[in-house]
Structures are given as structure tokens and as C-alpha cells.
Structure 1
Amino acid sequence: MQTKRPAVVALAGALCLAATACGASSTPAANAAAGASAPGYPVTLKNCGETTTYTQAPKRVVVMNGASVAEVSTLLALGLGDRIVANEQSYGRSEVAGRAAAIRRLPTGNVTLNDASDIPRETMLGLRPDLVLSTTSYGFDAKNGFATREDLRAVGANTYVSPQGCDQDTSRMTIDDSYRLARDLGKIFHVGDRAEKLIASSRRHIAAVRAKVKGETTPNVMVVFSNMSMGGNDFSSVAAHGIWNDILARAGARNAFASASRTTFADLSKEKVAAEPVDALVVISYNDPHAEAYARKLLKEFPQWPAAKNNRSLVLSDSIYLGPSNDLAVEKIARMLHPDAL
């Protein structure tokens, strides 16, 4: 999720994705479609206004960047890493032990990315995918130099846009969208039992945390991407609306800057940030090895914050965004804010 294009376009557009086109008869998906369906198939999904049908589990999956790790992390959590032929997603770190290393080991398809830090059209078609995953519809927009859903359908490949990504507005995203992503991929790959176990485990974990923090005070938390610039002000990567607000609420907190913008991100002056009584700071690291230093810098810059006086900050990466590990973010934030309760 998502430093100007990849931050501005990937985060603002993606929180916004390949060689010569192959004929449909030469693709794995087209060959499968010509024969009988595998056991448990066909599976039909409606996704962003399109109906896609699967006659077997995809075997050549391409995961577009979109400044996300939601899709690749969900595939790994469902035990489907061996289906990936090209993955362009990485946050460089993860709250899940071994997850970042597992992502680094995945094939990249030896892709030369375009100016939007993603897979250009001809390269995408040359990868011969049978399924392409994109965080938002941005990844299938011809104006951005990408293969469209129609282009991919013509060579026998299905496409999937993650929840709340149809209109590229992720401000309405909640933890339930992470569950929907897992459930949809479970259906596509005929591993629905794994998806339901993952979802049930997350729900239990979050419910246990919520029960412990019930009745506690509700601190104001600033959520900001580390060392990113996406606007004209000093603080242009402040999270205002989206899945983090749902995570904060379940951890017994509120977003300090939810009223500062109606969109996913707020573009704020230093004065606006300074005026808010921030009780705690959550820094999101997107491929930034210096996120902890950035957190310390902010606390030093705003010594009037209760967060600075109490040295209360936390660095998270994939768990606070769409994906299979939101329960970890809920617990870590709750533990920072309500240590006596947990």
C-alpha cells in the first residue's frame, strides 16, 4: 500500500499493476476452458461489474503491485504460493514471522516494471497468466499502460480486483474486506475450508482483544506512512479513512485525523498536525528500513503530544492494511494503548 509514483499513484490511486500477446488457444486457462471442469468447478464470481468463471484452480497467477501485499499475503496464508509465476508486491517486512522472506522467495517473472512501478501490457500478456490479481481497477486501465481485463480475457486469463478496489476508493475498507478477499480466493482455488479457518481464527483473536479493552479510554491515534509524500503539505500521507479506522476501533482507539479529510488520506500542514492532541502514533512502513527512526523523529518534532510525553509509538506494515493479518494489528495497537488490560 502503497516518494512520488509509486507513492502518489500507488497509494493514492491504488489504495490504487508483460513479450508478445499469445493466442487464446495457447494459454493454460483457454486450454482448461476447452475441456471438462475439474471437481468442485465451475466457480463463478461477480467482481467489479464482471462475471468470471473458473473451470479449474488457476496455475499461473500474476500478482500486480498496487502498493499492496494483501493479495500475495492472502495467497501465502492459504498455501497457494506455488501457483504464483510473477509477484510484484512487497512491503519489505511483515508482522507475520517468515512472511517477508517467503514473499522475497517468490518468482518475479523477471519483469521490467514501467514508470508506474508495475507490469506493462505486453509483458503481462507474455507471462501467459490464467489469473491476474490487482488491488484496484487501476491495474487494468489501458491509460496507465496496463493490459485491460478485456485484453486478458482474450488470452484466456481471468482477472480479480480486490474488495473496495473497483472505484479505486479504499476509504470505505474494513476488516470484513480482508475476509472477503480470503473467501473469494478460497472459492477460486477450491480451498474454501482454509479460508474459513483463517477467517474464524482472526475473528476469535480480535473478539478476545476487544473484550479485554472494553470500557477503557479511547485514545487518539495518528496513522501515517513513513517518509512518504503524496501531496503539497508537510504531512500528506496521514491516514484519515479506511481499514485502519476499523482496526483502531477494535483495538479501543480512534483515528485522530478522521475529520481532517473525507478521502483515504489527509494532506495536512505541520500546524494542523501540531494542534491535534495525539495520544499515540502508528507509523506504517512501506519498504522503508528507517520507519522506527521516522517515528522517533515525529515524537521529537511534536513534544506537546501526549504520545511524545509517554513515548508511545508503534511501527506496523502489512497487518494494518488489507490482508490476512489484521488481527495482529488489532492486538499490537491494543497492547500499546492498554498494556494493563492485555
Structure 2
Amino acid sequence: MSRFAMLAAACLMLAACGTTTPTARPQPPSSAAAAEAGYPVTIRNCGKDYTFTAAPRRVVVMNGGSIGEVSSLLALGLGDRIVANAQSYGASDEPGWVEAVAALPSGGFKRTSFNDIPRESMLGLRPDFVLATSGRQFEPRDGFATREELRAAGAATYTPESTCGVGVRQDQSIEDSYTLLRDLGRIFHVSDRAEKLVAESRRRIAAVSAKVAGRPRPKVMLIIPGMSMGSNAFSSIGAKGIWNDIFAKAGAVNAFEHTSDDLFTNLSKEQVAATKVDAVVIVDWLNPDPDAEARKLFAQFPHWGRKYVVLADSAYVAPNNATAVEKIARVIHPEAF
């Protein structure tokens, strides 16, 4: 598996949140005493309990291929707690988010072949909280510090429950994004902010679902051009993952959901051509021209519809899945808006 494939497999998970644009240096809580009033807090994550006696102040965010985790922290107003961030997706569906992420400290370390934080650099950063996209980022064979080593060094660790291992749980949904926000809200004693984001996300998604209710459900394909996840020509087509819930909320179905039990399906051009596709979701991952990728697909498959939408970070577990739902619904059900 290529380095890019491993990054992608580690990352895909998303959530719905409001339109809040994160700032690179949000204001901390009004006072340390107020921030610590709600402690101790115990969070169970990936089978282990982590007890916090105060809000973490030296946070390190590992890469994983998305900006879902770091944007969740920023949306919650916690950017000032980050001492090193390795997440940089290169694109966002929200104005200002790329710039906000780029303004965070990078830590100044030499990255691993997976474009992430190596063990010695991680321990040298002296974190008290490490936020990762998946359990893969704590694998010693890949050059990372383990969760046990970090615990011994005084750092709690967290990864979304749907990606505790090296893969992604098949039934991943937008609720996983809400869980991420709520857990971070409890850890940092900003649950009120988390609940506001969740409530706004639910409101936006419910509004879309109401508009598309009862309408025919087009078949949609999600693909990440330029990413290889297998040996066939089309190995980065989404099968299982959070996007299936996003599609459902937008009034669509995944045309390739049942072709694999994995996150991605691995198909030949002939297999793809034989599948009915009404619209395409192009995921913009380090892509200089995602619109050109859509044109290339339609040239190969002229019998498909010509509808497509470009998404970036809102297709994973993150604080802006509502944006993905809205954008997809407007493309496949324009008559409803």
C-alpha cells in the first residue's frame, strides 16, 4: 500500500457542525479557575479510561490525511492550546479554514514517510494531549510513539471511536462527528460550545432532509482522484464510510456501497462503467484542478449524468458535515432549493 493510501485509510471520518469559522488564536476561557471547575473528567476512548484534572494546555494534532480533528479544536475555540499541528489538507469547504490551520505552530520537526510526527519528536514536544485520526498513528512499527509511551510521558491520547484500529468502522456516521465534538468539549470544559455546534449542524441537516424528503434518490459516486488504494484503475471510490450517511441526509445513495466491505472499493474501468451513476462527488485532496478530474471522468463514462460537486474536509469526521449535505443536495435536487 502506498504512503498516500495509508494516509487516506487513516483519515476518513466526518461530522456536521455549524458555519463557525475557526480562528488561529481563539480566546481562552475567562479564567483558569473557571476552566477547572468541572474537573476531574474521565473519558473512555478506545477501551481505555483517561482522567483529566484540568484542560490540556499542550496539544499535538497528528496528520491522518484530513483536518477534521484540528478544525474541531478550532471550531471549539481551542487553537491556543495547540503546540504542534501536522494536519494540513490543502483545501476546505469553509472560508478561512485553510488559513486558520496554516497559522498554527507546526512543531518544526522532520516528518516520517507518512508525513506525520515521529516518536522522538513527539516525546520531545512534551504534549499533555495527543489527538489522532486513527489508531494507526500510534503504531510503533510505523515509527510512532505508542499510546502507552505517551501515557507514561504524561499525555492522554484520543482518536475517534470509529477509527480506534487501523481501519474505519463500517457504520461510521455523522453521529461520530458529534461524539468527537462532545468528547473534546468535556475534555476542555467547553461542552456548551460543543452542544451549540451540534445543535446548529442538526438544524441545517434537518432543513435539507425536509426539502428532499419523498424525492427519488439519485445514485452518487464518491472518488478521490490521484489516490491509489489498490491495484485496479479505480481504487479510491468510496464504499463504506461516513459519506453514506451524508448521502442519505442529502437525499442520495452510494452507487458503490455494496461493492466492498472496506472503506474503498477496488474496481476495474469495466466494473465502474456497468454501474449507474447520476452524480459524482470529487474529493479535493491535494488536487490542483478537481473540476478537471470531473471532466475526465465524464469523458470516460459519457452515459453518466453530468452532475458533480467538489468537497474537501466536509466529507470526513469533522465539524462541517452539514456543508457537505447542503452542497450535495443542491446539486442532485436543485428543484428543492
Q: Does 2:333 align with 1:338?
A: yes
> Aligned AA for 1:234?
A
Cα distance in structure 1, aligned partners of 2:244 and 2:69:
20
Instruction: Give the TM-score of the pair, scaled to structure 1.
Output: 0.90
CA drift at 1:212: 0.3
| Pair 1:11-2:8 in alignment | yes
Percent identical among aligned pairs is 55
Secondary structure of the equivalent of 1:59? coil
Give yes or no for the alignment of 1:150 onto 2:148.
yes
Higher relative contact order (CA 8 A, sep 6+): 2
Cα distance in 2 for partners of 1:65, 1:12 equals: 12
Distance in 1 of aligned mates of 2:315 and 2:12: 13
CA RMSD of aligned residues (A): 1.4
**Residue 203 (structure 1) aligns with:** 202
Separation in structure 2 between the aligned mates of residue 172 and residue 67 of structure 1, nearest angstrom: 20
The offset of 1:40, in angstroms, is: 1.1
For 1:111 and 1:340, the matched residues in 2 are separated by: 50
The runs of at least 4 aligned residues of structure 1 exceeding 3 Å deviation read: 13-16
TM-score by length of 2: 0.91
Map 1:225-236 onto structure 2 (within 5 A).
225-236=224-235
User: How much does 1:291 deviate?
Assistant: 1.5
Instruction: Give the number of aligned pairs.
Output: 315
**Separation in 2 of the partners of 1:108 and 1:162?**
22
The amino acid of 1:318's aligned partner reads: D
Contact 1:54 1:188 (C-alpha < 8 Å) held by counterparts: yes
For residues 15 and 333 of structure 1, do their structure 2 counterparts lie closer, same or farther at Cα, with a shift above 3 Å needed? closer
Unaligned ranges ≥5, structure 1:
17-36
CA contact (8 A) 1:14 1:168 kept: no
Query: Unmatched 5+ residue regions in structure 2?
Result: 14-34
Contact 1:43 1:53 in 2 (8 A): yes
Matches of 1:152 and 1:243, distance apart in 2? 29
Q: Aligned partners of 1:103, 1:299: CA distance in 2, in Å?
A: 33
Letter in 2 for 1:199: V
Specify the SS of the correspondent of 1:115: coil
Code of the aligned partner of 2:96: G
Cα shift at 1:156:
0.7
CA contact (8 A) 1:15 1:136 kept: no
**Which residue in the other structure is 1:168 paired with?**
166
Partner in structure 2 of residue 123 of structure 1: 121
Residues 1:215 and 2:197 are matched in the alignment: no
Q: Deviations over 1:5-25 (max 9, x none)?
A: 0x2111124449xxxxxxxxx
Is 1:46 equivalent to 2:44 in the alignment? yes
Aligned residue for 1:278, secondary structure, equals coil
Q: Does the alignment pair 1:255 with 2:250?
A: no
Work out whether 1:327 is the aligned partner of 2:326. no
Structure 1 residue 302 displacement after superposition: 0.7
Matches within 5 A, 1:220-299: 220-299=219-298
- The offset of 1:116, in angstroms, is 1.7
Q: Is the 8 A contact 1:15 1:169 kept in 2?
A: no
Residue type at the aligned position of 1:136:
S
